[in-house]
Amino acid sequence: MYKTGDVVLGGLFEVHYSSVLPELTFISEPHQQSCHGFDPLGFRHAMTMAFAIDEINNNSSLLPNVTLGYSLYDNCATLGIGFSAALSLANSQEEQSLLQQNCLGTPPVLGIVGDPFSTFSIATSNVLGLFKLPIVSYFATCSCLSDRQRFPSFFRTIPSDAFQVRAMIQILKHFGWTWVGLLVSDDDYGLHVSRSFQSDLTQSGGGCLAYSEILPWGNDPNEYKRIVDVMSKSTARVVIVFAHQAHMIQLMEEVVRKNVTDLQWIASEAWTLVDGLHTLAFMPYLSGTLGIAIRRGKIPGLRDFLLKMNPKQHNNDYKYSMVRINQFWEYIFDCRFAPPPLGWVENGRALCTGDENLENIDTVEFLDVSELRPEYNIYKAVYALAYALDDMLECVPGRGPFSGQSCATLQTLEPWQLMYYLEKVNFTTSFGDQVSFDENGDALPIYDIMNWWWLPDGRTKVQNVGLVKKSASKGEDLILDEDKIFWNFEFKEPPKSTCSESCPPGTRIARKRGQPVCCFDCIPCSEGKISNETDSSECTNCPEDYWSNPQRDLCVPKETEFLSYHEPLGICLTSASLLGTFICAVVLGIFIYYRSTPVVRANNSELSFLILVSLKLCFLCSLLFIGRPRLWTCQLRHAAFGISFVLCVSCILVKTIVVLAVFKASKPGGGASLKWFGGVQQRGTVVALTSIQAAICSSWILSASPAPHKNTQYHNDKIVYECVVGSTIGFAALLGYIGLLAILSFLLAFLARNLPDTFNEAKLITFSMLIFCAVWVAFVPAYVNSPGKYADAVEVFAILASSFGLLIALFGPKCYIILLRPERNTKKAVMNRGITKT
């Protein structure tokens, strides 16, 4: 089909779907004779290009004063014929070519719309790309055609399979389908998809292929039987098919034969809208199919243009070299144009008159313009070439992009010059879609998402349920209306298709050896580690002060452990401490009240008061070991404990020395011994001995101060707050000094145990020191082997036990006499006891 113009554009369409291969020739006329099987939709594709060019010629704002023409060819769905047609367009073998004798002027075509097949486009672009002749395909989707090194002049208004693959991967991710099967046709279309799908799926982390099979061309039932066996045995419930109608028919026949159900089919754009699969046999299996479809568009005026077609009018207006309008007319009205005799009828077919009306016959397939998809791409391809030519003609001489800043002109225009502008074209269609080409010649991709509905009356409805597009600014965007999707499953919900169930938070993925990455086990996170996401590849450690919860999906603050006032052990020790303090206060009150009695005054009552005060401090200092350790409590607890006990033991030591001195003074010539150990010396000795301990504590605190410490060594899930001693030597010196004084007191009291009863306080001191030393000897191993708060509890217990031992042993008998046996609390009674015993 040819129409003259100032600039001629070529077109390649599938108007017939089969052929008998003729001998290779670049002459166009014999091609028609070898083609058969008229395709009305393919013819509508060709007429869409004719309509677009007529519309542009009638548009005063686009290409004013320039008339576009066209030269349209039928490829007959045959590579040899399509390739021959493309070379015919490029080599000016048309009888309508209007080249001048000096070879100036436009070539026969400056751009070609087509070819619809990827394999055909690869063949023609390999050759025509050498001459930089722009080819804008409306249906070739092979991602290999984006290779600018091999195909420098190839453009397309349909998204490449690379984007279709990414669109499908987005659908898989949206529904959580990570375990899928892939079926592809045995051609460039399918094999390139297979490679890109596997690599993109792996890179995106969106899932794995349970199997990948190639659907053969031709009749190969054994191979289809094997493929369906693979599908039926696989646990994958989602099947993606990049193939053509012929493959799907053979595949579905075997699926029906083996009754393979409960599969979710995902269709490529090659068969999403194929009516030949909407049969009563196939639809129980294919209903619910999700498919990728070419973007639907609107072309105002196309239907009116198609209705105006008439053999009489077109034979007058156009020159046909391949496909005549008569063939279309014969197909639509089931008649035949024939030579006389008049009324001749063949095989029951009436004679065509040319006066038939298209509106009076059921021609829905041809005249239905509600689902314009390939036609919309053809429409955009023609307009892209027109806008590129318009941009080129608006070039200002001296500011052009070519050599010497020159511009191209219609008289000297070459295809590569038009290709320069085509690469930069950018416009918006009346339907609102932006059209431009990236560095690979691909248009901004956009697909409709379709869903197959099997209606109760047996009809099939293919409904638009969303779209996927890629814009220059926002990237890929998937929009789905899930409420519109029909699911062919029992619960009318999306199926689950996973090799392994997702690992919930609190677990991690453990790959199964020798299997795809989508097949794994879920291993719970170990203690102290968490995973708070689904399908985590590893568990993360909790921060130092945190620990994993039982579900291993959240880090929670570790439990803290210290000797608390609120726990039973702390309450008991606190009560005992306060009780001891109270008893000391009571005893001190009794001694103060009965300070003039012989029992109180015997053996230096002042030292008895000091011992009671120091014991009270010993009881109170134990409270510093209870509660959360602070710096001041850590520093004060051992200092207070050490100084209080040294004060107490030093008083007892002085008391013991006084007993010995008094006994020695009672002997003849021994009165001088008390002279050198009077009250002043006794107080001085206590102060001196206590000052030594104070010096030890000060040196310890200043050199290596005790400090609070968070210990995580005892328990991984707990923080044990404790006071580290800072200096072991300081702590040992403190205890050692107390022990030295206690042992010395014990030895002296032991030596004085057999003195007369008047001075029998030595026995009480001996017994009290025995208790004291026993407690603290037992304390050392118990303290070393007690972890955390129990070490503090052991130390508090030792303090309380030794304090109670001293309190009871030293003051218990005296309080008994004072309160219960007052008759013995006289000087005479005390002296008489001594005489009686003697």
Express each pLDDT in 642-675 by its tens digit. Answer: 899 899 989 888 888 877 776 666 665 555 555 5
**Amino acid, single-letter form, for residue 668:** P
CA distance 486 to 129: 45
Looking up tokens 């006389």 gives: 340
Looking up tokens 């063939």 gives: 327
Of residues 526, 517, 482, 519, the one with CA closest to residue 501: 519
507: tokens are 């677990």
Using 50, 70 and 90 to split pLDDT, how confident is the model at 38? Answer: confident
Mean of the pLDDT values across residues 175-196?
90
Looking up tokens 């400090």 gives: 707
CA distance 322 to 335: 20
**What sign results for the dihedral spanned by CA atoms 752, 754, 755, 759?**
positive
Least confident of 30-44, 651-665, 807-821: 30-44
Which has more pLDDT, 337 or 544? 544
CA distance 620 to 164: 81
pLDDT value of position 321: 39
Other Cβ atoms closer than 10 A to 815: 18
Backbone torsions φ then ψ of 127, nearest 5 degrees: -90, -55
Using 50, 70 and 90 to split pLDDT, how confident is the model at 418? Answer: very high
On the question of pLDDT at 388 being above 90, the answer is yes
CA distance 43 to 40: 5
pLDDT value of position 105: 41
- Rank 288-292, 362-366, 715-719, 759-763 by mean pLDDT and report only the highest: 288-292
764: tokens are 């009480």
Which has more pLDDT, 22 or 375? 375
**What sign results for the dihedral spanned by CA atoms 419, 423, 429, 431?**
positive
Using 50, 70 and 90 to split pLDDT, how confident is the model at 137? Answer: very high
Mean of the pLDDT values across residues 125-132?
91
599: tokens are 């029992």
Using 50, 70 and 90 to split pLDDT, how confident is the model at 99? Answer: very low
Angle CA(159)–CA(163)–CA(166) in degrees, nearest 5?
155
Q: Which helix (H) or strand (E) holds 647?
A: helix 631-665
Contacts of 103 (CB under 8 A, 6+ apart): none
On the question of pLDDT at 101 being above 60, the answer is no
Angle CA(506)–CA(509)–CA(513) in degrees, nearest 5?
155
On the question of pLDDT at 364 being above 80, the answer is no
Cβ distance 186 to 216 under 8 Å? Answer: yes
Mean of the pLDDT values across residues 433-452?
91
Which neighbouring-strand residues pair with 827?
Answer: none
440: tokens are 């690979």
Whole-angstrom Cα Rg for the chain: 53
The alpha carbon of residue 85 and the mean position of all alpha carbons in its chain are separated, in whole angstroms, by: 52
Question: Read out DSSP for 428-483?
Answer: E-TTS-EEEB-TTSBBPPEEEEEEEEE-TTS-EEEEEEEEEEEETTTEEEEEE-GG
Looking up tokens 């999700």 gives: 290
Contacts of 745 (CB under 8 A, 6+ apart): 649, 652, 653, 656, 765, 769
pLDDT value of position 749: 80
Least confident of 214-218, 757-761, 816-820: 757-761
pLDDT value of position 753: 65
Which neighbouring-strand residues pair with 559?
Answer: 718
pLDDT value of position 95: 41
**Amino acid, single-letter form, for residue 605:** S
3-state helix, strand, coil in the chain (%, to 5): 45, 15, 35
Mean pLDDT for the chain?
A: 84
Question: Read out DSSP for 776-817?
Answer: HHHHHHHHHT--THHHHHHHHHHHHHHHHHHHHHHHHHHHHH
Mean of the pLDDT values across residues 295-309?
88
Task: Taking each helix axis as running N to C, give the angle between helix 221-233 and helix 245-258, from 0 to 180 degrees, rounded to the nearest 10.
Answer: 60
368 DSSP 8-state letter: -
Least confident of 9-18, 144-153, 522-531, 712-721: 712-721
The alpha carbon of residue 811 and the mean position of all alpha carbons in its chain are separated, in whole angstroms, by: 74
Mean of the pLDDT values across residues 297-311?
87
On the question of pLDDT at 430 being above 60, the answer is yes
CA distance 159 to 164: 7
pLDDT value of position 705: 86
Mean of the pLDDT values across residues 732-742?
89
Using 50, 70 and 90 to split pLDDT, how confident is the model at 26? Answer: very low
CA distance 527 to 545: 14
pLDDT value of position 833: 52
Of residues 46, 38, 8, the one with CA closest to residue 375: 46
Angle CA(569)–CA(570)–CA(573) in degrees, nearest 5?
85
CA distance 787 to 225: 72
pLDDT value of position 448: 92
Enter the pTM of the model: 0.63
Least confident of 98-102, 326-330, 750-754: 98-102
Using 50, 70 and 90 to split pLDDT, how confident is the model at 27? Answer: very low
Cβ distance 436 to 425 under 8 Å? Answer: yes
- Rank 436-440, 499-503, 675-679 by mean pLDDT and report only the highest: 436-440
% pLDDT > 90, the chain:
35
DSSP-based three-state secondary structure for 58: coil
Mean of the pLDDT values across residues 613-628?
90
pLDDT value of position 831: 57
Which has more pLDDT, 547 or 668? 547
Looking up tokens 């001195």 gives: 661
Least confident of 29-33, 177-181, 418-422: 29-33
pLDDT value of position 667: 61
Mean of the pLDDT values across residues 27-34?
46
Using 50, 70 and 90 to split pLDDT, how confident is the model at 526? Answer: very high
CA distance 710 to 720: 6
620: tokens are 């109170």
Q: Which helix (H) or strand (E) holds 292?
A: strand 290-294
Backbone torsions φ then ψ of 507, nearest 5 degrees: -130, 170
274: tokens are 């194929």
Using 50, 70 and 90 to split pLDDT, how confident is the model at 513? Answer: confident
On the question of pLDDT at 244 being above 50, the answer is yes
